[in-house]
Amino acid sequence: MTHTVTTRTRASRLATIAAVLLIAAGLALPAFVDRSMIKDLFFILTMLTLAQYWNLLAGYGGLVSVGQQAFVGLGAYGLFGAAIVWGMDPVLALPLAGLFALAVAIPTAFFAFRLAGAYFAIGTWVVAEVVRLSIAQWKAVGGGTGTSLPRSVQADMTGTDFVGTLFGVRSAAAQDILSYWLALALAVATIGGIYLLLRSKAGLALAAVRDNAEAARAVGVDAGRMKWLVFLAASFGTGLTGALIYLQKGRISPEAAFSVTDWTAYVIFITVIGGIGTIEGPIIGILVFFVLQTLFADYGSTYLLALGMIGILVMLFAPRGIWGAITDRTGLQFFPIRRRLQKTPRPEP
């Protein structure tokens, strides 16, 4: 008998097949469903992506940020700036918007990492405020009141014609489908990328730092480097997602793009209720959140109050969320990252 190290489980093999089928179905879906459903799916996919990045930061990196709205807003404003000031095609400007967020993330990390533990959280919030107040001074994109993407910019977007002809729809509907496809691609790339990262050597180092920073350092893990890696990756991804969200909305203002409720409170809720520190958690969380949002969002304050209460109760009584409760009972893991020793029969000589 020999032993090999593996992370795979039977469920994970099934999950891989299911994921491929789901992605294929997701790509073909615009041919079968109406526009409002495409918009709902866009919302689900983008919020899921944001939640995955926040989960990467807080759940895996131990960096609890309440300032991720800074990067959503920066990405969004990066996109609007590139489209309005430079006249760039917004689809092509998306990666640039992500880089814009990344560029601000570097000094942010420099400041915020000076604050230990819990103070890091408020440090990120301060930076988000600084960014919001500074962007509100940028008159070319509407200053404090905000602005809209010019209609011509939206209509001439790369790919709109192609999608329009493919599905035989008008320009506005084609834009929605295109945004949805981009959101699907981003969500798949994000989940896939995070999963690969966590299964790699870097992922092991990350888990070691989260569980015990001193012990990790003792075995040669550079904790500081891991924190930088995670923070910058999450900022870039969050910025890209923010840009895509506002490309679809078409209208921006500092209040909305840097909203702590929309881009941080909701995202934290999704991650916490689903199960923090797992890839499956945010996926379950977004489904729960979407149902709550559809049914109760009209209740305004009462709804938000209830979300806050649920979040507190989950942290108190089920800190590992819905997915944690499921794995405890069934041992199910669709995205396993734990390395297990497996006995394999020695091949005959």
Partner 1 sequence: MNWLDTILQGILLGGLYALFAAGLALVFGIMRLVNLAHGDLIVLGAYLVMYLVGALGINPVLAALFAAPLMFALGWAIQRLVLNRVLGPDILPPLLVTFGLSIVIQNGLQMGFTADSRRISAGPLETASVDLGFVTLGVMPLLTFASAIAVILVLNWIFYHTAMGRAFRATSDDPVTASLMGIRPKAIFAQATGLAMVVVTVAALYLGMRANFDPTIGPARLIYAFEAVIIGGLGSLWGTLAGGIIIGVAQTFGAAVNPEWQILSGHIAFLAVLLVRPRGLFPRAFD
Q: With binding defined as CB under 8 A, does residue 115 bind partner 1?
A: yes
Token pair in block for residue 191: 């989940």
Beta pairing partners, 5: 341
- Least distance (Å) between residue 91 CB and partner 1: 33
Beta carbon nearer to partner 1, 126 or 288:
126
Binding characters for partner 1, 215-254, by CB under 8 A (x = yes):
----------------------------------------
In the block, which residue shows the tokens 């604050």? 115
Tokens of 233: 């990756």
Helix (H) and strand (E) counts in the chain: 17, 4
Rounded CA separation 322/310 (Å): 12
Binding mask 58-97 toward partner 1 (x if CB under 8 A, else -) reads x---x-x-x-------------------------------
| Closest CB to partner 1 among residues 42, 120 | 120
Q: If binding is defined by CB under 8 A, does position 322 make contact with partner 1?
A: no
Helix H or strand E segment including 343: strand 340-344
Nearest 10 degrees: Cα torsion 55, 61, 62, 63: -80
| Residue in 44, 101, 183, 307 binding partner 1, rule: CB under 8 A | 307
319 lies in the binding site for partner 1 (CB under 8 A) = yes
Q: Does 119 bind partner 1 (CB under 8 A)?
A: yes
Among 19, 88, 126, 202, contact with partner 1 (rule: CB under 8 A)? 126
Give the residue among 166, 156, 163 at the shortest CA–CA distance from 179.
163
Q: Could you count the other beta carbons within 10 Å of the beta carbon of residue 275?
A: 27
- Virtual CA dihedral for 311, 316, 317, 320, nearest 10 degrees? 70
Question: For residues 31 and 315, which CB has a smaller minimum distance to partner 1 in the complex?
Answer: 315
Per CB under 8 A, 288 contacts partner 1 = no
Q: What is the DSSP string of 224-293?
A: HHHHHHHHHHHHHHHHHHHHHHHHHH-EE-HHHHT-HIIIIIHHHHHHHHH-TTSSHHHHHHHHHHHHHH
| 117 lies in the site for partner 1, by CB under 8 A | yes
Count how many Cα atoms sit within 13 Å of the Cα of residue 229 in the half-sphere of its side chain: 15
Using DSSP, state whether 348 is helix, strand or coil.
Answer: coil
Contact pattern for partner 1 over residues 264 through 283, marking x by CB under 8 A: -x--x---x---x-------
Min separation Cβ 303 and partner 1, Å: 8
Q: Of the two residues 28 and 118, which places its CB atom closer to partner 1 in the complex? A: 118
Pick the closest to residue 5 from 348, 334, 337, 347 (CA basis). Answer: 337
Selected binder of partner 1 within 5, 17, 28, 316 (CB under 8 A): 316
- Verify binding: residue 130, partner 1, rule CB under 8 A: yes
Residues 186, 241 contacting (CB under 8 angstroms): yes
Give contact residues for partner 1 (rule: CB under 8 A): 58, 62, 64, 66, 111, 114-115, 117-119, 121-122, 125-126, 129-130, 133-134, 136-137, 260-261, 265, 268, 272, 276, 300-302, 304-305, 307-309, 311-312, 315-316, 319
